A and B are shown apart, each in its own frame.
Chain A
Amino acid sequence: MTRSRNFAGYAEVAIILIAFALLWFAPLVVGDYWQQLGFRTLIYLTLAEGWNLMAGSAGLVSLGTSCFVGLGAYVAFGLLNGMGFPLPLTLGASAAAGAALAVLVSPALFRLRGLYFTVGTLALAELLRLIMVNVSAFGGASGIFLQNDPPALPVLFHYALGVALVASLAITACTRTRASVIFRAVRDDEDAAAQMGVRPFRVKLAAFAIASALAGMAGAVQGVKLGAIEPYGMFGLQWSIDTLTMVIIGGVGLRLGPLVGAVFLIALGEILADYPAAHIAIAGVILIVLIRFAPRGAVGFFGSMEQARRGRAAA
């Protein structure tokens, strides 16, 4: 078991590295439209990977993604404008800020279990947004502009690629190593895990902090691309809803769930771009149908179909 887990882990790292290396050359081949689309997919992939770690591995269902996206963007703008930080260092600082906020609020949030935790994260996101709206030092409701020009699109694409790579490798580290059994133990039965010596608080905090750091980085890159940020967009509930929808459509707790969900939802958005209302309605219908017939998402559904097919073939 351990050996096969190690092997699968190395194979996964190799696949990720190869895939991202190939994508690195995408701007040489494809035009602006596809780079824009790729950028959005990579940002959402990062958010969805983090969300999936929380929900799928530690059982934490969060509606607070937007809170960390916004925080990352505001921290990045502060450092870029105020102190002239280089962008890579700024991304690191945004990640650190996300993780720090997660640690700071965890004693309060982790008192809440299940649905109450979810509502708690939603409240946190709203709280932060209201602070940004009302404190003029942070630009108030009209937001902040980036003083220097944002980098060119291919450069931004590469930054998004880098952030998504960090996310993918972090998740591999959490799901393919011995840490994965600890995460799953807490998700399956927190009390029984505690009786095995696992400290559930720390394990949940680790998942929350990693997800928040990833969201902080993603927010920073997104903010820099926009060149101007304001609270309603960066702290918008849409970030949280989209992320959650992607992971549920793709498959909660499954390695490929976030990727499949992110690609699917963004492709759907593009196909129906001319009918924005239909887009939302169709995504909603798909979500309902999936939860009814494939509670483990698209990846889980096709996985069990494949298993059944093999079962028939064997019989």
Chain B
Amino acid sequence: MSLSGAPLLEASGLVKRYGGLVAIDHVDLTLASGTITGVIGPNGAGKSTLIGLIGGALAASQGSIRLEGRDVSRLAASERARAGIGRTYQIPRPFLDMSVEENLEVAQYSIAPFQSAASARREREALLERTGLADAAHLSAHALPLLRRKRLEVARALALKPKVVLLDEVGAGLVDSEITELIALIKSILDSKTAIVIVEHVIRVVRECCARSLVLNFGRMLVEGPTADILANDEVAAVYLGTHGAREKTPSRIPVSEEDLRATSEGTDAQRHLAPLIAPQETRSPAPALECRGVEAGYGQARVLKGVDLVVKEGEAVAILGANGAGKTTFARVITGALVPTAGSVHIGGRDVAGLPAHRIAGLGVTHCMEGRRIIPTLSVEENLRVAARGVDGSTARERLDAAYALFPVLAERRNSPGTSMSGGQQQMLAIARALMARPRLVIFDEISLGLAPVVMDKLYETLALLRQAGMTLVIIEQDVDRALALADQAYVLEHGAFSLSGKAADIAADPRLRHIYIGAEE
């Protein structure tokens, strides 16, 4: 505890410029011991930059940072870590060749090289237990899926025994029951000597953990104050929360009745504009767009899918829900041919595709908008799009590009920028547009809302609704249950590699068992 009640960390007048671009513009931040502060704001608002400036990965162009009264502004990241500032990376950066345990040892032995091996081991075991990685201690970090890598990020930051903990989007991609665990974990880190900063799009984490919050927008502090006031603030709703996030607690279907949309000129316009991107429906063939029977698949010894049946009719939108590790992405990989099923059959448009290589399946009009976007960083936005429209003549490709730009005008503005130079939301738009460039019959959207601001999620789901109106067949794999159910006709819930719940989306939304699976509450 610092003397005389001075704040634990005090940042004043922080500025970060990249050439002409001002990423952080005169931001002040004061952290008192024993508090959790939330930082929210749209993608590209400068939240991660702020974390980088405090953690020392980035040098501030202007301003000062004091930790317990000591000026740390000029210190390198390693010295700040030793002084007690621990951070996580938004995209986890574990040491991949090391075991999970060794990843923690790096932090332990860098700050206390001569700590006894026994006490270090006890600390590690306790940390892994707290972060839910106890069973993975000896696994290589390479073997961990994304979300467990995020837990490892948190565990590594805590191994420093930090006074200030900076958590950069550790909640992204977690389902409700996991969020509950995460909130408990964050609260358990906090003691009278620690301050925590949370950068987060999962509003529930901010609401339940943070007494105070601040909102960044275009690098500037928009508002700061008690979290409840912030979340009720109209200005915040306008720039960040959007319509859906504001009433997040009341899961209701967005009214996307077909008649409504067809009636509006926007609906028909969209349909006409989208025509170059959507394969015409196969009306003569009675076969469903996708039919899976008894599909089993896995990796090596691990069986992930244990008998999955699924039928998707032409023009239907199907949501596949489920907790992390339930097998959703594995299922997507089976459909697209990236993974060969060990049993069962997959038919696309009536044709048996089991064992067909991925590019042949893609040729049948199935594309996969992959989790994590997979934008090719060395290509520009337009090149990323053109890559997906191989094998068509120039004018057709041009037509599709124009349709994609009409769908996401911001991509047209950034057409010559490198694909990964855009904000997270724009990159996701690019990933969606790229999936459409092949003029597919069926698109699998895998976790498209991961790590995005609520307003951006709304925008993306509006786009999916348009695609559905225009007759595209959609398979939506999603953590964000409310949005996916609002859009879908049918919904399936995967649990431990099999569907535990299926039916009309509206019925599933109302089913108490869904809550049970996601929230994990005892009934």
A188/B97 contact (C-beta < 8 A), A178-B109, A181-B105, A197-B81 known:
yes
Task: Report the bound CA distance from A261 to B213 in whole Å.
Answer: 59
Which single member of A1, A197, A198 contacts B137 (CB below 8 Å)? A1
Q: How far is the CB of B158 from chain A (nearest CB, A)?
A: 11
> Does any Cβ of B come within 8 Å of A194's Cβ?
yes
Q: How far is the CB of B110 from chain A (nearest CB, A)?
A: 4
With a CB–CB cut-off of 8 A, which chain B residues contact A196? 81, 106-107, 110, 156, 159-160
With a CB–CB cut-off of 8 A, which chain B residues contact A179? 109
Residues of chain B from 149 to 187 with CB closer than 8 A to chain A in the complex: 156, 159-160
- Interface pair A182/B95, CB less than 8 Å apart: no
> Does any Cβ of A come within 8 Å of B121's Cβ?
yes
- Interface pair B87/A198, CB less than 8 Å apart: no
- Interface pair A1/B99, CB less than 8 Å apart: yes
Which single member of A1, A6, A182, A191 contacts B110 (CB below 8 Å)? A182
- Interface pair A192/B99, CB less than 8 Å apart: no
- Interface size counted on chain A using CB atoms at 8 A: 21
Q: Contact mask A1-24 → B, CB, 8 Å, 1/0?
A: 110001000000000000000000
Task: Report the bound CA distance from A178 to B93 in whole Å.
Answer: 21
> Does any Cβ of B come within 8 Å of A290's Cβ?
no
* Contact size range, B: 35 or more
Closest to B93 in A: A192
Q: Contact mask B363-400 → A, CB, 8 Å, 1/0?
A: 00000000000000000000000000000000000000
Q: From B55, B107, B120, B160, name the one whose CB has the most chain A CB atoms within 10 angstroms.
A: B107
With a CB–CB cut-off of 8 A, which chain A residues contact B95? 184-185, 188-189, 192-193
A197/B82 contact (C-beta < 8 A), A182-B106, A184-B95, A192-B93 known:
yes
Q: Contact mask B79-106 → A, CB, 8 Å, 1/0?
A: 1011000110100011111110110011
Task: Report the bound CA distance from A21 to B48 in whole Å.
Answer: 57
Which single member of B86, B96, B105 contacts A188 (CB below 8 Å)? B96
- Interface pair B105/A194, CB less than 8 Å apart: no
> Does any Cβ of A come within 8 Å of B113's Cβ?
yes
Q: Contact mask B111-144 → A, CB, 8 Å, 1/0?
A: 1010001001100000000000000011000000
- Interface pair A197/B105, CB less than 8 Å apart: no
Q: Contact mask A250-282 → B, CB, 8 Å, 1/0?
A: 000000000000000000000000000000000
Which single member of B57, B78, B96, B102 contacts A197 (CB below 8 Å)? B78
Would you give 16 A-B contacts (Cβ < 8 Å), ordered by A? A178-B117, A182-B106, A188-B97, A191-B57, A191-B93, A193-B110, A194-B57, A195-B56, A196-B159, A196-B160, A197-B81, A197-B107, A197-B111, A198-B110, A199-B76, A199-B110
